[in-house]
Amino acid sequence: DTAVSQTPKYLVTQMGNDKSIKCEQNLGHDTMYWYKQDSKKFLKIMFSYNNKELIINETVPNRFSPKSPDKAHLNLHINSLELGDSAVYFCASSYSAGGSTDTQYFGPGTRLTVL
């Protein structure tokens, strides 16, 4: 059974386009995250939602807009795509008892290529 799933797995698009990545988790977790992994494999948090409420918003361009329709889903919409947005985007989730020890479970990633 897939715990954290993302669609699509690959996304190739032109500069200036708008695209969305979807994430779903069936773990019953109440906190979800988006991470960006660049070409050097550096992983950086972008956003976090707890019970559909935005709680972490790192210094990400406002072209990126997350949306959480319910606790099990967290989507990422990107407007006016730029070459520098090319990366692998990971969704993650955790059951948040409200501590640093909450294990984050990652999805398989979406490789976004902007041409």
Partner 1 sequence: QQQVKQSPQSLIVQKGGISIINCAYENTAFDYFPWYQQFPGKGPALLIAIRPDVSEKKEGRFTISFNKSAKQFSLHIMDSQPGDSATYFCAASVGGSGYSTLTFGKGTMLLVSP
Q: Which residues bind partner 1 (CB under 8 A)?
A: 4, 30-31, 40-45, 48, 50-51, 55-56, 90, 92, 94, 96, 98-109
3 state SS of 17: coil
- Provide the minimum distance between the beta carbon of 15 and partner 1 in the complex, in angstroms, as a whole number: 25
Q: Which residues are 82's β-sheet partners?
A: none
Taking the least distance from each CB to partner 1, the nearer of 14 and 40 is 40
Contact at 8 Å (CB) between 78 and 20? yes
Taking the least distance from each CB to partner 1, the nearer of 14 and 103 is 103
Strands 4-7 and 19-25 turn out to be: antiparallel
Instruction: State the Cα–Cα distance between residues 48 and 26, nearest whole angstrom.
Output: 17
- Provide the minimum distance between the beta carbon of 9 and partner 1 in the complex, in angstroms, as a whole number: 9
Taking the least distance from each CB to partner 1, the nearer of 14 and 28 is 28
